[in-house]
Amino acid sequence: KAGVTQTPRYLIKTRGQQVTLSCSPISGHRSVSWYQQTPGQGLQFLFEYFSETQRNKGNFPGRFSGRQFSNSRSEMNVSTLELGDSALYLCASSSYRGNEQFFGPGTRLTVL
C-alpha cells in the first residue's frame, strides 16, 4: 500500500507570494491533517479535514487555508507569504478521525 505523498517536496518562494501544497493520503483514508514544523516550535497543528469538511483548526492566521476533495486528496494554501512561514509542512492521514495518523515526507517551504 502506497504511503502518504506530498508534492512538491521542496519549494522556494518570496515574501508576498502565495503557495499551494498537495497531499495524497493512503488509499482508503478519509481524514487528512496538516502540520507546520519549525525548529523552534515543533509540530503545530494547522487543520484537519474529513469527508471534505474542515473538522478542526489550529491557531493560525486566515492566510492559511485548506480543502479536501471527494477523493480525500487535500491541498493547503498560504497567501501573502512571510519569512516566518518557512517550515516543513507535514500532512498526515488516518482511516478515520482519531485513528493512528501516518505522515507524509513533508514539503520544505523556504520564503526569501
Partner 1 sequence: KNQVEQSPQSLIILEGKNCTLQCNYTVSPFSNLRWYKQDTGRGPVSLTIMTFSENTKSNGRYTATLDADTKQSSLHITASQLSDSASYICVVSAEYGNKLVFGAGTILRVKS
Rule CB under 8 A: which residues touch partner 1?
Answer: 4, 33, 42-45, 55-56, 88, 90, 92, 97-106, 108
CB of 31 to partner 1, least distance (A): 10
**Residue 57: how many other CB atoms lie within 10 Å:** 13
CB of 16 to partner 1, least distance (A): 26
CB of 80 to partner 1, least distance (A): 26
Distance CA(62)–CA(54), nearest Å, equals 14
Sign of the C-alpha dihedral, residues 7, 100, 42, 18?
Answer: positive
Distance CA(22)–CA(47), nearest Å, equals 14
Q: Which is nearer to partner 1, 67 or 103 (CB)?
A: 103
Q: Which is nearer to partner 1, 4 or 19 (CB)?
A: 4
